[in-house]
Chain A
Amino acid sequence: MKLLTIVTMMLALLLSACATTGNPQDPLEPMNRKVFAFNDAVDTYAFKPVAKGYAAVTPMPVRTGIGNFFSNLEDAWIGTNNLLQGKPGAAASDVGRLLVNTTVGILGLFDVATELGLEKHDEDLGQTLGVWGVGPGPYLVLPFFGSSTLRDSSNTLVTLAVPYVDPVGAVDRVAIRNTARAIRLVDLRAQLLAAGNALDEAALDKYSFMRDFYLKRRINQIYDGNPPKVKNKEDDDYLDEPAPPAAPAATKLEEPPAGQFAPAESSGK
């Protein structure tokens, strides 16, 4: 519940924070960057080492089983969101998945449903609100949870606060509940080890790279992978334009050094 308090406080902060320059979708960038740095430190010193250890000692089939188990628990909530988005067919498939995997798949350890052609879906409350026409609002980095937006943080809040949205949270015994949460977190982090390393290599600025990726991916998710065709490379004509000469009026010279004025220009004037 402490997390919930923090999240609520952050939302309150939003209302008082002033807009800054930069990305219009990220008016809270200075605050977000601080939270991002905090998350990054927590990850470097706690989550990542633990996830690495877990990945090293846990055989792949066991990891797959653990991943499947927690993934199965999500299917009810995914189905609910599909229903809320007016996709009863997809929702029925999610319920089917839950039934098949919980029984034949032995409490979800095996993902039999996928083999049977019932594909796993990816839905949450943020996407449902998006389908209903709610805009993302400002980009937010939540402590521990990472990239989100005002709209998408609703899913985090509901998952934490409403019983049975996250079945793990509904377990009575505190010890079991917390153990389950910890394993789920570690397993999830282990799945992202490779992606995280690639990100470290790829990004000049990890913060903005992750933000831009998150915001674009959410649009893609809301449209279930088929966003309306905004031709992203609409004005790619410039690619075929020849490069400008290095300096104005320097056409007579061969390869003038970049960034310097060609002598021809000064003498000409």
Chain B
Amino acid sequence: MTKFFLTILLALGLASNAMAMDAPDELVRNVSKDMAETVRNDKAIQAGDIKRVTEVAETKILKYFDFQRMTGLAVGREWRNATPEQRTALASEFRTLLVRTYANALAQYKNQTIDVKPLKLAATDTDVTVRTELRQPGSKPIPMDYDMIKGTDNWKVYDVSVAGVSLVTNYRETFGQEIKASGIDGLIKSLHDKNQAGAAKAADTGKK
């Protein structure tokens, strides 16, 4: 009898586990909605506090991004030659840069709505593109696509395209130049410097 219950529990557990992994389009829809509501209802963010948006972004969305993969894509083939330490440093700096960019964009679009197109997902799919449109009054909708890969616990975004242009691969040229001029460590330093400058600016807006 115990065994029987155990089996049922196990089955239920497995089933709920499988269900816990949201479909990619569902995930994008839920997370965007959640973010939009949070931004709308947070007074500090409405006042332009970048630090606060960054905090919210950190807690709510970062687990849905695969920064290691993103960084690898942005760096391109030189990624092969990066040591584990360099990879970690690159990913961490790039992540900071992207989060701050995202937070800045988020803090400014106040009347935006995101329209997520339904995705036909086959059970065998491990790499999909979720198409969305960012709508705002007074301007044309901007297509934003999320390339997502199936992870162990949930789907993760590894590239975002705006108006059909991959943001991650758009970094390749600049990153390539940096690496050619001053090596991988040079790129890490450039990213680090950029982040320092950005953090100083964000602190400024927070004080206002």
Contact = CB atoms under 8 A, between A and B. Distances in A.
B93 to A, nearest CB: 11
Interface string A163-205: 0000000000000000000000000000101110110011111
Nearest to A247: B83
B82 to A, nearest CB: 6
B112 to A, nearest CB: 9
A191 B104 contact: no
Given A213-B165, A233-B73, A239-B72, A204 B194 contact: yes
A46 interface: no
Interface in A211-269: 212-213, 216-217, 220-221, 225, 227, 232-233, 235-236, 238-239, 241, 243-246, 255, 258-259
B190 interface: yes
Given A209-B174, A217-B164, A239-B79, A60 B72 contact: no
Contact of B170 (A60, A212, A239, A255): A212
Contact of B79 (A208, A238, A246): A238
Interface in B126-171: 137-140, 143, 159, 163-167, 169-171
Interface residues of A, number: 43
Contacts of B169: 232-233
Interface stretch (B9-17, B22-30, B55-63, B84-92): B84-92
Contacts of B104: 197-198, 201
Given A23-B173, A67-B138, A220 B83 contact: no
B83 A194 contact: no
A217 B101 contact: no
Nearest to A256: B83
A68 B164 CA distance: 24
Nearest to A236: B73
B111 A60 contact: yes
The secondary-structure label for the interface of chain B is helix
B177 interface: yes
- Most chain A CB within 10 A, of B72, B159, B191, is at B72
B198 interface: yes
Nearest to A259: B185
- Which residue of A63, A64, A201, A204 has the most chain B CB atoms within 10 A of its CB atom? A201
A42 to B, nearest CB: 22
A205 B170 contact: no
A120 B140 contact: yes
Nearest to A239: B72
A106 B60 CA distance: 44
A238 B72 contact: yes
B101 A198 contact: yes
A221 B72 CA distance: 27
Contacts of A225: 143, 164
Contacts of B69: 239
Nearest to A207: B174
B108 interface: yes
Contacts of B191: 204
B8 interface: no
A212 B173 contact: yes
Given A209-B170, A238-B79, A259-B185, A202 B101 contact: yes
Contact of B140 (A122, A227, A246): A122
A198 B87 CA distance: 25
Contact of B138 (A64, A205, A233, A246): A64
B100 interface: yes
A217 B73 CA distance: 19
A194 B185 CA distance: 32
B143 A194 contact: no
Contacts of A23: 173
A198 B164 CA distance: 17
A254 to B, nearest CB: 12
Interface of A: 23, 60, 63-64, 67-68, 120, 122, 191, 193-195, 197-198, 201-205, 208-209, 212-213, 216-217, 220-221, 225, 227, 232-233, 235-236, 238-239, 241, 243-246, 255, 258-259
The 10 closest A-B pairs by CB, nearest first: A220-B164, A194-B108, A64-B138, A202-B101, A246-B83, A198-B105, A201-B101, A67-B138, A216-B165, A243-B84
6 contacts: A60-B111, A198-B101, A216-B164, A236-B73, A238-B77, A258-B83
